[in-house]
C-alpha cells in the first residue's frame, strides 16, 4: 500500500524526504479533509489531485486500496459527490462496508435528494425529502441493521430525568452539580439534559397535567373523568328507561292487554271476575297513567257488554 500511495506524492518534493509510513499518514489526513469538504469548491485543487491519482491506479491497485483503506473509500465517495456522480455515490455506499460510518448517512440522503431534483428540475421541499428518506432506507454498510439512528433518549435515562423533575416540580431548575450527577446516572451529555429540562418546563407550563413529560397522570385522570361520564350517562338512561316504562306503552302492548281483559271475561259468570290477567301487566298498569286510561276504557266496554248479556239472559 505504501508504494501505491507514494504515487500520490509524485509531484511533492517533500515526499522524498519522508518515510513511507509518514507519507501514508499524510495521505490519510488529506483523505479526511476531502471527505469533510465534499460540498466545497475551495478544495478543487485537492479533488483534482485525488482524481489524477485515481486515474494513475491500476484496477488491482484500486481494488486493493478500496478494500484495505477505509479513509481512501470515504475520500472516493466524497470525490464522486463533488463530481456530481450521485449514482456512483449511492452504489459505493450500498455495496461497500465502512468501518467509520460518520457522515455517510448525510451523503446517502443528499445524493438521493440531488438525483430527484435533477429528475424534476426544481428543489425539493421538506415533505418530498421526508418521503425520499422513507423510500430509501440506509444500507447496512453505513447504518447498523439498516435502520436510521433515532433521536429519542433511552428509556432508562428518561425515567431518571422524569423522577427528578417530578421531585422538583416547584422549581425544576437543576444546579450545575445536579446536572453533573444526572449526566453520570443517565449517560447523557450536559447539553442533552439542559435541552430536555428546557423542553419539559415549556410543556409543563402549556399542559400542567403532563408535567415531567409523563402523560400517565393525565391519561389516568382522563380515564376517570370518562368513567364518571359513562356512569352518569348510564344513570340518566336508566332513569329515562324507568320513566318511559312507567309512563308509556306501545299500542301493541295496550291491544294485548285489551285482548286479555276481554278473553278473561265470562258473561255467564255471576261474579264477572278477571281471572287470568298477568300480575306483571297489572303492576305495569297501576304505575302507568296511559295504561290506566286503557283499562278504564276496557272496563267501560266490558260493563256495556255485561248489561247486554244480562238483558238477553233475562229474556
Domain ranges of the chain: 2-146, 155-214, 251-314
On the question of pLDDT at 271 being above 70, the answer is no
Q: What is the pLDDT of residue 81?
A: 93
Cβ atoms within 10 Å, residue 37: 16
Pick from 177, 178, 185, 190: which is nearest to 157 by CA? Answer: 185
The mean pLDDT of 232-241, rounded to a whole number, is 62
Tracing cell 456512483 back to the chain, one arrives at 88
Q: What are the residue ranges of helices labelled H in 83-189?
A: 86-95, 104-120, 126-135, 155-167, 176-186
Task: Count Cβ atoms within 10 A of the Cβ of residue 309 and give its class: 0-12 exposed, 13-18 middle, 19 or more buried.
Answer: middle
- Are 64 and 1 a contacting pair, CB within 8 Å? yes
Higher pLDDT, 298 or 208: 208
On the question of pLDDT at 275 being above 60, the answer is no
Q: What is the pLDDT of residue 152?
A: 78
On the question of pLDDT at 10 being above 80, the answer is no
The mean pLDDT of 127-139, rounded to a whole number, is 91
Higher pLDDT, 208 or 80: 80
What is the Cβ-side half-sphere exposure of residue 162, based on CA atoms within 13 angstroms?
16
Q: How far apart are CA 304 and CA 309, in angstroms?
A: 9
Instruction: Work out whether the CA dihedral 199, 200, 204, 210 comes out positive or negative.
Output: positive
Structure confidence by residue, pLDDT tens digits, 33-65:
888 887 777 778 888 888 888 888 888 888 888
Q: What is the pLDDT of residue 210?
A: 52
- pLDDT bin (cut points 50, 70, 90) of residue 29 is confident
CATH architecture entry for 155-214: Orthogonal Bundle (1.10)
The mean pLDDT of 291-298, rounded to a whole number, is 55
Verdict on whether the full-model pTM lies above 0.75: no
On the question of pLDDT at 299 being above 70, the answer is no
Higher pLDDT, 122 or 311: 122
Q: What is the pLDDT of residue 90?
A: 93
The mean pLDDT of 82-107, rounded to a whole number, is 90
Highest-confidence segment of 17-26, 27-36, 100-109, 300-309: 100-109
Higher pLDDT, 243 or 7: 7
On the question of pLDDT at 171 being above 80, the answer is yes
Q: How far apart are CA 200 and CA 206, in angstroms?
A: 10
Higher pLDDT, 20 or 225: 20
On the question of pLDDT at 284 being above 60, the answer is no
Q: Provide the mean pLDDT of the chain.
A: 74
- pLDDT bin (cut points 50, 70, 90) of residue 239 is low
Highest-confidence segment of 109-118, 139-148, 183-192: 109-118
Q: What is the pLDDT of residue 44?
A: 85
Cell numbers for 213: 413529560
Q: What is the pLDDT of residue 6?
A: 60
The mean pLDDT of 141-150, rounded to a whole number, is 74
Q: Lowest-pLDDT range, 39-48, 67-76, 260-269, 305-314?
A: 260-269
On the question of pLDDT at 86 being above 70, the answer is yes
Number of H helices, E strands in the chain: 15, 0
Amino acid at each position: 500500500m505504501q508504494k501505491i500511495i507514494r504515487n500520490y506524492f509524485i509531484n511533492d518534493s517533500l515526499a522524498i524526504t519522508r518515510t513511507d509510513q509518514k507519507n501514508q499518514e499524510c495521505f490519510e489526513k488529506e483523505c479526511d479533509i476531502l471527505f469533510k469538504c465534499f460540498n466545497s469548491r475551495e478544495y478543487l485543487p485537492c479533488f483534482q489531485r485525488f482524481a489524477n491519482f485515481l486515474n494513475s491506479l491500476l484496477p488491482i491497485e484500486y481494488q486493493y486500496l478500496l478494500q484495505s483503506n477505509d479513509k481512501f473509500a470515504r475520500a472516493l465517495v466524497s470525490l464522486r459527490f463533488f463530481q456530481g456522480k450521485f449514482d456512483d455515490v449511492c452504489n459505493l455506499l450500498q455495496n461497500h462496508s465502512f468501518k467509520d460510518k460518520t457522515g455517510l448517512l448525510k451523503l446517502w440522503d443528499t445524493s438521493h435528494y440531488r438525483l430527484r431534483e435533477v429528475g424534476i428540475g426544481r428543489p425539493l421541499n421538506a415533505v418530498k425529502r421526508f418521503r425520499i428518506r422513507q423510500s430509501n432506507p440506509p444500507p447496512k454498510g453505513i447504518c447498523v441493521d439498516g435502520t436510521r439512528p433515532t433521536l429519542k433518549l433511552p428509556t432508562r435515562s428518561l425515567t431518571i430525568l422524569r423522577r427528578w423533575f417530578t421531585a422538583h416540580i416547584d422549581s425544576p431548575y437543576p444546579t450545575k452539580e445536579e446536572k453533573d450527577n444526572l449526566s453520570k446516572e443517565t449517560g447523557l451529555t450536559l447539553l442533552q439534559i439542559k435541552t430536555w429540562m428546557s423542553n419539559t418546563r415549556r410543556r409543563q407550563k402549556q399542559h400542567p397535567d403532563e408535567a415531567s413529560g409523563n402523560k400517565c397522570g393525565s391519561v389516568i385522570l382522563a380515564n376517570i373523568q370518562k368513567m364518571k361520564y359513562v356512569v352518569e350517562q348510564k344513570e340518566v338512561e336508566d332513569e329515562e328507561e324507568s320513566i318511559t316504562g312507567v309512563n308509556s306503552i306501545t299500542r301493541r302492548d295496550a291491544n294485548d292487554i285489551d285482548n286479555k281483559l276481554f278473553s278473561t271475561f265470562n258473561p255467564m259468570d255471576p261474579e264477572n271476575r278477571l281471572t287470568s290477567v298477568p300480575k306483571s301487566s297489572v303492576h305495569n298498569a297501576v304505575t302507568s297513567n296511559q295504561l290506566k286510561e286503557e283499562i278504564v276504557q276496557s272496563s267501560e266496554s266490558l260493563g256495556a257488554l255485561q248489561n247486554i248479556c244480562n238483558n238477553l239472559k233475562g229474556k
